[in-house]
Amino acid sequence: MAGAPDVRGSGPAAGEQLQQQHVSCQVFPKRLAQGNPQQGFLSSFFTSNQKCQLRLLRTLETNPYVKLLLDAMKHSGCAVNKDRHFSCEDCNGNVSGGFDASTSQIVLCQNNIRNQAHMNRVVTHELIHAFDHCRAHVDWFTNLRHLACSEVRAANLSGDCSLVNEIFRFHFGLKQHHQTCVRDRATLSILAVRNISKEVAKNAVDEVFESCFNDYEPFGRIPHNKTYARYAHRDFQNRDRYYSNI
């Protein structure tokens, strides 16, 4: 994966200003450990870092969204290594994680990830950013449209806007509710990492929404739940075998 300028200290800790805890993105507000995770295996049993590491391992081994994304990354020439590309750290505010494009590393906020299901969503969301970083020349830092596009894709394909998650947020609706959720979540994620107005963030999302919402790679469909994700993973594996035999 390509490197990028390090702007980890830029912008406000916008996660503190958001009422709902949500998955952040890219270079999130402040990375306290600066890439050095707290190692607590000898200090006590099941420290926050240990819990984070164990949840991450379970996610990588069992979650169908993540297993597909890992295969897609490898297929695209960006194989993911657990020890190199993931880091469990304490984070400021309410952010849950972020993709640090300057180090090609996914940071997991061990002090904010509440349970296994939350870990699954965060890793999936950030791996979509990593996949976009691998397959395209994404200008995370100066092109707001690029950032907005990846946020739309992450909100759409990670399961973050699933019916169950929306019910837990007390958000209900019928017509085009999924699209509304994707727009809202993408806008929140942009605000968490950019010192811009909500109007500017919403406009960026609106400008790219149609094309980026309909970009389903590498899933081939919107995986509304784990069953859909398993089918998508099976289809991806079959497609990969087909092209390898041509």
The per-residue b/e assignment along 222-232, b for 16 or more CB within 10 angstroms, e otherwise, is bbeeeebbeeb
Report which secondary-structure segment, H or E, holds 69. Answer: helix 64-75
User: Is residue 126 flagged as an active site residue?
Assistant: yes
β-bridge mates for residue 97, sequence order = 108
Q: Is 117 exposed, middle or buried (0-12, 13-18, 19+ CB in 10 A)?
A: middle
**Catalytic, out of 16, 61, 89, 126:** 126
**What is the identity of the amino acid at 180?**
T
Proportion of the chain in helix, strand, coil states, percent, rounded to 5: 50, 5, 40
Distance CA(85)–CA(133), nearest Å, equals 13
Cis peptide before 218 (omega within 30 of 0): yes
Distance CA(211)–CA(207), nearest Å, equals 9
Q: Is the Cβ–Cβ distance between 1 and 104 less than 8 Å?
A: yes
Q: Tokens representing 122?
A: 């965060």
Residues annotated as catalytic (active site), given as ranges: 126
